[in-house]
Amino acid sequence: MDLSVFFAGTAGSVPTPKRGLPAILLRAGGERILFDCGEGTQHQLLRSVGLPDLDAIFITHLHLDHWLGLPGMIKTFDMRDRDTRLELFGPPGFVATFEKVVRPVIGRTKYPLDVIDLEPHEEIGFDDFVITGFPVKHRVEAFGYAFIEDDRPGKFDAAEAERLGVQAGPDFGRLQRGEIVNGVTPEQVMGEDRRGRRIVYSGDTMPSQTTEVYAADADLLIHEATFCEDERARARETGHSTAAQAAALARDANVKLLALTHLSTRYFPREIREEARGVFENTVIPRDFDAIEVPFPERGDPHLVRAEDVVTPC
């Protein structure tokens, strides 16, 4: 399954000429899932990879910069005669806010639209993975989200299967599906299950032990870095993180790659990057329209793809 993250918006609180409000598109096989939907998200997608027929949208919390793009996007889908169901998920209180604020503006949709409050640690299942919402520490109730891929079967040892008397062909497939063939069990020719890939998105948060737990050994952690250490007290006061704090969490969680977002206009990106890399070297600062590819571990490490090289449409 191809797996990548596309950064449609990486600014914090207010947009800039070069950075839109928070929105991250997960592309997992044929699934298209959006995390947060700041004002202007559909325009950001239209001018880059195109606006896909999203399967689900997960909102981290109810501050306006993380969901105000929903009304326009929902109506655009209606104008395009969408007929497939769209599910919107958020922390407790999301449904009440949506029904009070958004529903009167958008009216009825021709396609099924489900709006759902998630319970902490609740899993939403897809074909080959789950999305789990977990509570983080912000000024309001807020969730981070973890993409957790199903474990894959271990590597098949064809040479050992032949040595045990299994002929190449359909019998190999039967063994790999878990069947016993001519007295040979799958355990004799299959390696240990391979852990599925994991991507964690923090949303807006102070450093959180829950984030660290979900990010343990993750392929990619996308963490906010609204402040640098010179404003650590301000970060604590507003429920945000510094670049160094995010990097320390990534280091302690043993993630492969850290991507910092929710950038404030008070800093140059290189200041944030330098502070973070002083703690955790494998840190990147995505720009809008950059992507991160997350291949299977045997095919390489997660890596940043700059906007000029992102050519795959949604």
Residue type, 203: G
Q: Is 61 among the annotated ligand-binding positions? A: yes
Could you tell me which of 40, 46, 95, 89 has the C-alpha nearest to residue 68?
40
| Residue 202, helix vs strand vs coil | coil
Q: Is 240 among the annotated ligand-binding positions? A: no
Q: Which residues are catalytic?
A: 65
Across the chain, the runs of DSSP E, i.e. the strands, are 3-9, 23-28, 31-35, 56-58, 86-90, 113-117, 123-125, 129-135, 143-149, 198-201, 220-224, 257-261, 283-284, 291-293, 303-305
Tokens of 157: 């040892």
Q: Is 138 among the annotated ligand-binding positions? A: yes
Note whether 105 and 132 are within 8 A (CB).
Answer: no
> Which residues neighbour 34 within 8 Å (Cβ) at sequence distance 6 or greater?
23, 24, 25, 26, 41, 54, 56, 57, 58
Q: Is 151 among the annotated ligand-binding positions? A: no
Tokens of 283: 């840190």
> Which residues neighbour 101 within 8 Å (Cβ) at sequence distance 6 or greater?
none
Residues at the binding site are: 61, 63, 65-66, 138, 204, 262
Residues at the binding site for Zn(2+) are: 61, 63, 65-66, 138, 204, 262
